[in-house]
Structure 1
Amino acid sequence: MESDQLRVGTAEREEAARLLADHFGMGRITPDEYETRVTDAYAATTLGDLRPLFRDLPPPHPGFFGPPPVYAQATVRMPMYAPDPYAPPPAPMPYAPVPYSYRSRTVAGVLQIVLPFGVGRFYTGQVGLGLLQLFVVLMTGVGILWPIIDGVMLLKDGGLDAQGRPLRP
């Protein structure tokens, strides 16, 4: 072959020696074979001198030997199209509507303000919070502010009933 007559340089010899070291590290050649092949690799002057060093070894082979045979090349399938990098992001999925509670936030807020003992929270079904507000109001006089502020917040922002549904406006 005409390519076997091409002269090799130091870079090619070092690549061959490095690949032989990889094969030795994988246990494919013995220490004596490795020493002999590396000595031959550094003494090589043409591609024809380096080819026999890798003839009985599986890949990897030096890249300067040429492309691997067609059957050894991996097939890369390119997609038919690529997504447009400048396209706007897809629209978010619409959320399922949350069913409203049959209880009203207006009634809950007014009950909290007019009867500041947690009555509005009892109305929404949040018995634990209603009991806590009742306890705080009965034990401390200043605690009466909490149900009143809670009633204003219920009127302004609404709230949730005991099942986690938003109160009806």
Structure 2
Amino acid sequence: MGRDEMRAADSDRQAVADKLKKALDEGRLDLGEYDERLQKTYAAKTYGDLKGLLEDLPMQQQAVAAPQGPPPLPASVSSRTGQLVRMTMGGFGGIFVVCTVIWLLTGLGYFWPVWLLIPLVMSILGQFGEDRGHRDRRERRRRD
């Protein structure tokens, strides 16, 4: 049995997920591609399933051996916010729109789709808090 057919452990999947998150933070992956690869990572059963998820991303050893230039600029908050809004509106926002159409077709009583806005707004606000935490950590590292 080759390595590609061997079963992957949770720690192997987590290591790939961590590398994907780093690639997202560096701007190498957009939010949609990160989400797609992350789903494949957690669904992987073998090392072969995990193999192709990082192949087009630079490895940490290569990044260390590369000549030192200016540090890469972090992705701007506005582009990340735009990605977040597109992702949220594509999924959960679509459900809200469908429910609103159903509400319109059934008689305009109590506006029950408003309850769907609560998790939508919370996810957007949570992402802003996460972005701020990443920025704070990056600035602390720069100062050190």
TM-score by length of 2: 0.41
Q: Which has the higher contact order (CA 8 A, sep 6+)?
A: 2
More helix by share: 2
TM, length-normalised to structure 1: 0.35
- Pick the structure with greater CA Rg: 1
